[in-house]
Amino acid sequence: MKKNILLFFVLFLSMKAYAQDTVPSFSHRSSLSLDGSWNIIIDPYENGSYDYRWQESPNGFFKNDKPKNKWDRIEYDFDKSDSLIVPGDWNSQKKELLFYEGTVWYKKSFDFHKKDSTRIFLHFGAVNYLAIVYFNGEKLGIHEGGFTPFSFEITHLIKEKDNFVIVKADNKRCAECVPTLNTDWWNYGGLTRSVAIVETPATFISDYCFQLQKGSRNEIEGWIKLQGSQPRQQILIEIPQIKIHKRFTADSSGYVYFSSSASIKLWTPEHPTLYDIKLISGTDTVTDRIGFRTIETKGSKILLNGKPIFLRGVCIHEEAPYRSGRAYSLEDARTLLGWAKELGCNFVRLAHYPHNENMIKEADRLGLMVWSEIPVYWTISWQNEQTYKNASRQLADMISRDRNRASVICWSMANETPLSSPRLEFLKGLIRQARHMDSTRLVTAAMERHYLDASTQMIDDPLGEYVDVLGCNEYIGWYDGLPQKADTMQWKTIYEKPVIISEFGGSARFGYHADSLTVWSEEYQESLYKHQITMLRKIPFLSGMSPWILMDFRSPRRQLPGIQDFRNRKGLISEHGEKKKAFYVLQQFYEELRRNQEK
Ligand code: GCB
């Protein structure tokens, strides 16, 4: 009992430290959508920001100026400019923007009838990469990082008529950014996720967290946070399916910490049970659908709800099937995750950045466990303090957005980062933060392996000491020899922890047929999968796998004409939805694993 109280206190402190610092959770509120057509100005020379001496111009495009008389010389006009659809990247909407990296200004005008004593927020699902946001001519702030939500309060600025939001979106890559200059995916720019005006009561439920107490399968616990001038309110928590109707009173800073026992049907891939949850405060009501499950490790096993589970996964980029470009819609999520289900997956690695919320919510609904990661990818400026702060902010925003999603079982800190002590310190800091914010999920990273001798792979990255699960990427048969090289390969690790082969694979152009040693052919890829499976079956500490990758995706690094055409072809499915031969090899293997797991 004493131990429980101590644990609860530690949890209390850790939750408090971060919850107040994050973006309010708006995804369950009705709002005025600002999606649709936005006027845009393409501005490669930053003319909307700087004058000819490269000084910040006081009359930048954010003012949305119009000539007031006939001699007023204003050299831009949003209302006569071109337009783009939001949500959506700019690269895939206009041919001339396919390779564009730079600044695009966006403008949207709208009228709004505000109710008495409410608060109004302008919310962005994501903007890649740097967003400077202005509202009715005032600068609201800056947001860096292309895959996480942010919002600004505009209660004091909003009017009944002719409001205008202006966003300067800039996707220029930079060495200190997260990700950095070099990636293997398209740098889709723009307002890639939805934008909305959210109206809340003066004091509102700004965030909450519901989950099973660590180590328990029938004790729900968590917290609710009120923001506003009347924080000391009673809050009723209702979960009707399990007969929870409980009142709690928030403290003077608006927090309620609660726990309640209940007999719960746990969330599993086979039965992804979600419960309707209603939070009713004196001034506000919020609803959500939440599942409950535990996830832990024991030696080299991953345990879901206390039972060992093998993760039958696949990696996915946030790339839209059929139409190309950044994926954002429910339909995109249904297609991508539908294919993963068809493949026999119970797990998806959402690479290499936080995907849109439709993906996570669909995964919750479909029973797919999720690996979610931040874009700390390849070479990062490990010693730059701003870079660390940026990565840490992206981590905080990812966790606070998705901590109520049962599907998310692990947070990944990094992908294939080269060994060094500054890198280790950087990643240790992020791991501490992830554990501090969320003690119930597993922490991982996709690491690399090396050769001990010609037929032995070793996983001994020093980072392994700090994570719960060792992710390992390997490309035997592609960047490393021919597929048959895998057959005799042995694996070792110095850690007694579960290993997920978080990537393997090879490229094939759909419809290109040849013998199994002809690179780029479907037969080569098929053979690579067969040889990999031969090897994977023999790794004693293997707890899961997520081959690279579900669908072909755009990458500027992939230039071979007629084969790649700026696409990474390691997909099991083409961008047009055509399944390659390797898809069926993996499907068959997953079916076998599923049957064995059921026995
Ligand atoms: C990797 C990276 C992934 C690449 C992939 C490839 O190791 O993690 O982002 O796209 O290899 O295809 O080379």
Whether the CB of 567 sits within 6 Å of ligand 1:
no
Whether the CB of 570 sits within 6 Å of ligand 1:
yes
Whether the CB of 412 sits within 6 Å of ligand 1:
no
Determine the Cα–Cα distance for residues 119 and 111; give it in Å rounded to an integer. 16
Q: Ligand 1 center to residue 228 CA distance, Å?
A: 45
What backbone torsions phi and psi does residue 560 show, to the nearest 5 degrees? -65, 115
What backbone torsions phi and psi does residue 554 show, to the nearest 5 degrees? -70, 135
pLDDT value of position 31: 87
Q: Given ligand 1 and candidates 568, 569, 572, which is best to mutate, with the most ligand atoms within 8 Å of its CB?
A: 568
Determine the Cα–Cα distance for residues 163 and 122; give it in Å rounded to an integer. 12
Helix ranges (H only) for 367-462 are 385-402, 421-437
pLDDT tens for each residue of 369-397: 999 999 999 999 999 999 999 999 999 99
Q: Which atom of ligand 1 is nearest to the CA of 183?
A: 9
For 49, 63, 64, 122, the CA distances from 60, given in Å and listed in that order, are: 5, 6, 8, 21
Predicted TM-score of the model (pTM): 0.95
Stretches where the chain sits below pLDDT 70 are 1-23
Residue length, the chain? 599
pLDDT value of position 214: 87
pLDDT value of position 141: 97
Determine the Cα–Cα distance for residues 111 and 572; give it in Å rounded to an integer. 47
Using an 8 Å Cβ cutoff, are 405 and 361 in contact? yes
Q: Which atom of ligand 1 is nearest to the CA of 184?
A: 10
Determine the Cα–Cα distance for residues 343 and 363; give it in Å rounded to an integer. 15
Determine the Cα–Cα distance for residues 579 and 525; give it in Å rounded to an integer. 12
Helix (H, G, I), strand (E, B) or coil at 523: helix
Residue closest by Cα to atom 3 of ligand 1:
184
Whether the CB of 373 sits within 6 Å of ligand 1:
no
pLDDT value of position 599: 79
Residue closest by Cα to atom 10 of ligand 1:
184
Residue closest by Cα to atom 9 of ligand 1:
184
Using an 8 Å Cβ cutoff, are 535 and 489 in contact? yes
pLDDT tens for each residue of 154-168: 999 999 999 999 999
pLDDT value of position 33: 96
Q: Ligand 1 center to residue 121 CA distance, Å?
A: 38
- Burial of residue 285 (number of CB atoms within 10 Å: 0-12, 13-18, 19+): middle
Q: Which atom of ligand 1 is nearest to the CA of 351?
A: 9
Whether the CB of 548 sits within 6 Å of ligand 1:
yes
Residue closest by Cα to atom 7 of ligand 1:
473
Whether the CB of 89 sits within 6 Å of ligand 1:
no
Provide the token pair at 343.
């493949």
Compute the chain's Rg from CA coordinates: 25
pLDDT value of position 23: 61
Whether the CB of 317 sits within 6 Å of ligand 1:
no
